[in-house]
Structures are given as C-alpha cells and as structure tokens.
C-alpha cells in the first residue's frame, strides 16, 4: 500500500492548474503545492516558498487534529 501511495503522490505532482488574473499568474499541483507565482511578469520564489511553508504547517495541524479525533484516515476507512 505504501508503494501505491508513493506512486499516487508522484502522479499528483504532474497534474497542474494555471490561473492568470490581474497580473498574477499561479501554477499549483494536485498534491496541494504551489509550483510558480509571478506578479506583473516577475517570478516570485519568495511567495511560492511562503505559501508552501504555510500549507505544510496547516497540513501538520490537520493531521494532528484527525489523530486526536480517532485515528485519522485509517479510522475512517475502518468504518466503511
């Protein structure tokens, strides 16, 4: 199962969505990562890094909360 999860994670990195609006271009991946940000044509790696750091931290908090509430995903799947 671990190998399948790793394969899925790799595939999700290859699925992207690009949005441009009012001088801002953002590319995100299906694994919930920001791949690219530009503002008025200027690439902003600092913004990418800040957003990805924030996502990583909030995902940790969400995982902790799920574990506190009964074991996380394995608990949910066991009830199916």
Domain-embedded: residue 79: no
Q: How far apart are CA 51 and CA 24, in angstroms?
A: 15
Domain-embedded: residue 14: yes
CATH number at residue 56: 3.30.1310
Q: How far apart are CA 63 and CA 41, in angstroms?
A: 36
pLDDT along the chain (80 residues), means of 10: 81 93 97 95 98 95 85 56
Q: H/E/C letters for each residue in 39-75?
A: ECCEECHHHHHHHHHHHHHHHHHHHHHHHHCCCCHHH
Residue 15 CA to chain centroid, in angstroms? 12
Please tell me the predicted confidence (pLDDT) of residue 19: 98
Domain that holds residue 61: 2-70
Domains in the chain, number? 1
pTM, two decimal places: 0.72
The alpha-carbon radius of gyration of the chain (Å, integer) is 16
């Amino acid at each position: 199962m671990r190998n399948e999860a790793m394969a899925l994670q790799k595939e999700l990195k290859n699925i992207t969505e690009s949005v441009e609006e009012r001088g801002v271009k953002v590319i995100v991946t299906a694994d919930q990562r920001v791949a690219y940000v530009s503002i008025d044509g200027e690439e902003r790696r600092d913004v990418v890094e800040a957003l990805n750091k924030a996502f990583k931290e909030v995902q940790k908090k969400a995982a902790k909360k799920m574990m506190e509430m009964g074991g996380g995903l394995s608990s949910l799947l066991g009830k199916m």
